[in-house]
């Protein structure tokens, strides 16, 4: 009997233990695959046709005709854009119609002004794959795509009007509320910063920026994949003359905005997404810097 023990154990290993281990591995892989799943479906928000994109990092709402995001909801249910159709103009629009990402095309002399902005009927958006949405302006002059990953979304400008510059904006309430005195921000030049710029704002030449709130365990990051010498800017805009103490409003951040649109041409890429960490001090800013560098890898 003892001489047959090794063979018996080998049979047990191959017939029972190994299949169990392989089964556990398969379950683990299936779970990992499910956790990374991107789901794009048709939806409606504010009476407008939308794509709803569910990712492990958050839920995005994309206005099909506007060509821009109207909502970005984090894991705690907070909406970091919170666009509303009305009011669409005037000071109150800082709490409603001005909000969105990327709000790309702007200017009184631009026939395509409003392209890329939620609430504007200027675009046609289609689903191009399991994780891609493509938008073309009704004029045919502008085209871009969004590709979604488990952690962030990747914007690529595919076609742009050579006669008109554009910008890439985030306009919305960090962590779903307008509370500049309890919020912070930072850029590739340093952070976190707790100053609350208003009219005129703060300008710089930044590769990336983030926005956070003292009550939130995460920050929203926006990054530009290519370097340039163009101006970028940040400020807060309240719904009335009280400024940062107004009852509502939004953060106004722009790549290529200082103060007018400065980006030109196609083949520019940007990334937007949440980083699941607060940034209370300089040490945390350094840790976040490493995470952002990882996000920016091709």
Q: Measuring CA to CA, which residue among 262, 243, 248 is closest to residue 201? A: 243
Q: Measuring CA to CA, which residue among 150, 197, 207 is closest to residue 35? A: 150
Alpha-carbon span 7 to 5, nearest angstrom? 5
The residue range of the domain holding 288 is 42-295
DSSP code, position 20: H
DSSP code, position 13: I
**CB neighbours of 160 closer than 8 A, spacing ≥ 6?**
141, 142, 166, 264, 265, 266
Number of domains comprising the chain: 1
Residue 245, CA distances (Å) to 149, 215, 248, 250, 266 in order: 36, 18, 8, 12, 39
Contact 95, 252 (CB under 8 A): no
Supply the pTM of this predicted model.
0.88
Cα dihedral 20, 24, 25, 29 sign:
positive
Residue 208 lies in a domain: yes
Residue 27 lies in a domain: no
Structure token pair of residue 253: 């951040």
Beta-strand pair 123-129/132-137? antiparallel
Residue 260 lies in a domain: yes
Helical ranges in the chain per DSSP H: 5-12, 18-35, 282-295
Residue 142 lies in a domain: yes
Structure token pair of residue 75: 């894991």
pLDDT of residue 23: 55
Residue 12 lies in a domain: no
Q: Measuring CA to CA, which residue among 131, 177, 139, 173 is closest to residue 159? A: 139
Structure token pair of residue 171: 């306009």
Residue 14 lies in a domain: no
Q: Residue 252 sits in a domain of what CATH number?
A: 2.70.98.10
Structure token pair of residue 103: 């709000």
Residue 2 lies in a domain: no
Mean pLDDT of successive 10-residue stretches along the chain, which has 298 residues? 46 46 46 71 98 98 98 98 96 97 94 97 97 98 98 97 97 98 98 96 97 98 95 98 97 96 97 98 98 88
Structure token pair of residue 28: 């683990």
Residue 16 lies in a domain: no
pLDDT of residue 128: 95
């Amino acid at each position: 009997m003892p001489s047959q023990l090794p063979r018996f154990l080998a049979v047990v290993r191959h017939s029972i233990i190994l299949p169990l281990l392989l089964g556990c591995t398969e379950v683990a892989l299936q779970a990992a695959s499910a956790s990374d799943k991107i789901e794009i479906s048709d939806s409606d928000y504010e009476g407008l046709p939308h794509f709803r994109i569910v990712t492990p990092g958050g839920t995005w709402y994309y206005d099909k005709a506007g060509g821009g995001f109207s909502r970005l909801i984090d894991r705690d249910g907070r909406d970091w854009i919170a666009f509303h159709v009305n009011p669409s103009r005037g000071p109150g629009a800082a709490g409603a119609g001005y909000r969105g990402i990327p709000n790309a095309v702007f200017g009184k002399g631009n026939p395509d002004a409003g392209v890329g902005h939620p609430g504007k009927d200027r675009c046609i958006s289609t689903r191009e794959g399991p994780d891609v949405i493509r938008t073309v302006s009704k004029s045919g002059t502008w085209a871009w795509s969004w590709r979604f990953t488990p952690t962030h979304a990747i914007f690529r400008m595919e076609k742009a009007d050579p006669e008109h510059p554009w910008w890439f904006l985030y306009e919305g309430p960090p962590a779903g509320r307008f509370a500049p005195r309890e919020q912070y921000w930072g850029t590739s030049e340093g952070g976190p910063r707790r100053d609350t710029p208003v009219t005129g704002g703060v300008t710089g030449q930044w590769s990336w920026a983030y926005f956070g709130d003292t009550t939130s365990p995460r920050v929203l990051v926006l990054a530009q994949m290519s370097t340039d010498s163009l101006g970028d800017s940040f400020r807060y805009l309240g719904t009335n003359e009280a400024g940062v103490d107004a009852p509502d409003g939004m953060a106004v951040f722009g790549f290529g905005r200082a103060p007018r649109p400065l980006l030109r041409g196609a083949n520019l890429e940007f990334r937007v997404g949440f980083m699941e960490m607060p940034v209370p001090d300089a040490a945390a800013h350094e840790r976040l810097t490493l995470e952002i560098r990882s996000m920016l890898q091709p």
